[in-house]
Structure 1
């Protein structure tokens, strides 16, 4: 699939690609990292804005309510908290961040909730968002829905998404995401950028 990109008005969001998360969710870490790294390199070379989104919390997780079913489990477990700290909580070293990348730290599933992501996108006159990350049914789905409602043009790099539920992963990528975004592979993304440049 050939998509025409306008790099100065396009942002690539690499979401929750933290070392610990990659080790749990990506069935073949090396292949996932190779594809994600390739997509990031192509986007940086094309001059796109790179935004690395990561999950992070203050000590004791004051951002998390006991009413939040997902994150309350993290708050009540010291090992789960440590999962998002140190080397495990850092963006995978093969993916950056590079000095020009912007890092957004979130405390919920969506990259938009409680962050300055929307401000960053508007300030940089971004019209198209390219998304990938872990998990497909988590941050990718939540962020895509909010971005769609905000009228961004959306592209999902399918083979740079991962999930523990493979059936749900496939359903989202093959049936649901195409109703709101273009869904392409890393190779197609790089080919599109080569045609754009």
Structure 2
């Protein structure tokens, strides 16, 4: 196994209509992500959930400038139930946009001999891009699945996907991803 699936911030504050910072685009991509999750499970990929989580009652400079969201101990930090976690999956909490910053994500990936990262989730312009940028810097090969990322503006989404594809990794659709598995590229 040399490939991991990173599911970025698909937590209830972002995906649930009752979430503190919900937007419909996240709900729309959940079934697409579930399909990719099932494909990756069938190919024995390492599954890593990145879980945005702010500390309750503690100062955080980034969190202080935004609407409250993803507060530890609330339903808002729970992984959306449509994406079933399994005991062998990793759930890595993060407090910044990149899944690598201040976490043990790189260590987990290296311990599992990961080279390729399939990246799905939210927000393309913040957490997806920051995580992909750091993956590039750490010499991983990132693949962002087009139908499985979102932000609250389709134009912003496309601009960041274009930059990712040009400078940081690859943007593929689900069919291309399936073919890459079939051809043994992942």
TM-score (norm 1): 0.83
| 1:37/1:95 contact within 8 Å kept | yes
Gaps of 5+ in 2: 17-21
- Deviation of 1:84 after TM superposition, in Å, equals 5.8
Alpha-carbon spacing, 1:73–1:11, altered in 2? closer, same or farther (3 Å): same
Report the counterpart of residue 176 of structure 1 in structure 2. 163
1:104 aligns with 2:104: no
CA distance in 2, matches of 1:28, 1:72: 23
Give the secondary-structure state (helix, strand or coil) at the position aligned to 1:92. coil
| 2:146/2:172 contact within 8 Å kept | yes
Moved over 6 A (4+): none
| 2:12/2:77 contact within 8 Å kept | yes
Please show how residues 116-155 of structure 1 align to structure 2 within 5 Å. Answer: 116-155=104-143
CA distance in 2, matches of 1:159, 1:84: 29
Deviations 1:160-196 (A, max 9, x none): 10101221111111x2011221211123323332443
Number of residue equivalences: 179
Alpha-carbon spacing, 1:86–1:176, altered in 2? closer, same or farther (3 Å): same
1:190 aligns with 2:182: no
Report the counterpart of residue 46 of structure 1 in structure 2. 43
Among 23, 26, 32, the alignment partner of 1:25 is 23
CA distance in 2, matches of 1:137, 1:195: 31
Alpha-carbon spacing, 1:84–1:36, altered in 2? closer, same or farther (3 Å): farther
Among 73, 80, 89, the alignment partner of 2:65 is 73
| Greater helix content | 1
TM-score (norm 2): 0.87
Indicate the RMSD between aligned Cα atoms, in angstroms.
Answer: 2.0
